[in-house]
Structure 1
């Protein structure tokens, strides 16, 4: 094999993956960007150019940017999710009875389909459903609410569902990072008299800083792009409509593909900007524990 052949051989192995990436990621993004400058309804053969009208409408029409405020509920819930996942990851990284069982229990919700999760919690939160029955059984029946019908608590209920579903993902990320820290570091810390709290503060947190940073990035992007849970459980009613649900309705109910594409481009830009800001504020640092 010549030097030129050896140089091109790695690219030959990468071609299938690159082909799939370009076909199913970059080409659709390019089409979406093209559609955003038209007034296409998704059915006509020709596309009428619209210039920047779709983008102007997204930023000036209150209906299209007010739904971003709903993402705040999911953003706040993501911090709860990260805290719960980190807590259990730290506990189960040490010797604990039935820890493999608890690992499975915590990760199992993430394996479920989002539509199935939506329907399960739809029955949980419905009037007279599982949650109301449990509250009544323990003497808290006066605290029952219209969990999905009351605008004051509907988004909190949906955000809680999101926490239940995605905690397993953060848990696995944290657990894998914690277990990658050499055991000798813990042994040395114990010899020096460091307790669990000091080990967590001075060993675990610095050792998994990159994973914590990644979790915040996923939390930001995930809170801005929530779709399945509010769409299945409420259809966006009672003030639960997210930006992605609004874009979906714009595209497939009102046949405004151009406007919906502009909304998707704006969402992509917002996620990239927020992620860039987060990376600037919390840059990666090399951490040496040994």
Structure 2
């Protein structure tokens, strides 16, 4: 049969084309089951008045979304995210500074790497409890300040401004190490010959950072900014543990959790979650347009 080898070859090519999809079948099934299906349910619930318990739910149209944008107490919590956005800028700058310094030969640099990365290994709930005692009246911070003769008598979590600044400071302490590792890995991936050539040309450390490091790690910086902005909009663990949203520290996510589980307004909470998702996607899209991910050619 002259056509048999050709048919066997085509059959083999068909199986080779199908093989990647067979490997992707299980991950795709898990992704759809535990990610996209719940998102679809959340969107469906956002158009109802479901309380999260009753088997009956009634379609309310866009009433939940109208309530979110017309009730000032529901949407104004986004202003609290401004504190965390400022903290994100601080932690990115600090992480980039330490990553740049420790990418060169510095004494005890491995020790400092461990010190910087250690906070990112701690569970968020544990961090909340640790800093709850750190900021309480007469706690660790007041004790340390007292050793230097500073007696503020200030309730660090007692006013909206100081409480939000304190919580934002906790986020800086927690996430600087993670950004530091990302930046350090990106810097160390730059070919060492570029540094050697720059040193032969008499380039200073600042010039090496400006013309070699900064262009070389631009994609990682862009990714870090996107993650930091989205994280600032969806802060939950630390303010929920430390203040429970009191003293003007309630974030959009803590408010959504209260709507769903404390006030039994699952439909309204689902609408709030959808709004947050759309805002994060919009912010990410704008960032990608303003700062395109162009790989710099350093050679």
1:16 to partner: Cα distance: 2.1
CA contact (8 A) 1:135 1:144 kept: no
Q: Note the C-alpha offset of 1:26.
A: 0.6
Correspondence list, 1:223-238, <5 A: 223-238=232-247
Partner SS state of residue 64, structure 1: helix
The answer for the alignment partner of 2:14 in structure 1 is 4
Contact 1:42 1:256 in 2 (8 A): yes
Residue 222 of structure 1 pairs with residue 231 of structure 2 = yes
* CA shift for structure 1 position 144: 4.0
Aligned residues: 289
SS at structure 1 position matched to 2:294:
coil
C-alpha distance in structure 1 between counterparts of 2:25 and 2:106, whole Å: 46
User: Which residue in 2 is equivalent to 1:53?
Assistant: 63
2:127 is aligned to 117
Q: Give secondary structure in 2 for the equivalent of 1:2.
A: helix
- Measured in 2, the distance between the counterparts of 1:189 and 1:103 equals 25
Find the partner of 1:239 among 248, 260, 276.
Answer: 248
Indicate the residue corresponding to 2:4 in structure 1. Answer: none
Cα distance between partner residues in 2 of 1:275 and 1:82? 17
Query: For 2:120 and 2:29, how far apart are their aligned partners in 1?
Result: 29
Q: Where in structure 2 are there 5+ consecutive unaligned residues?
A: 1-10
Q: 2:206 and 2:283 mapped to 1: Cα distance?
A: 32
Structure 1: distance between partners of 2:180 and 2:161: 30
Match of 1:268 in 2: 277
Choose the corresponding residue for 1:164, options 166, 173, 181.
173
- Answer yes or no: is 1:87 the counterpart of 2:126: no
Match of 2:118 in 1: 108
Deviation at 1:286? 2.3
1:147 maps to what in 2? 156
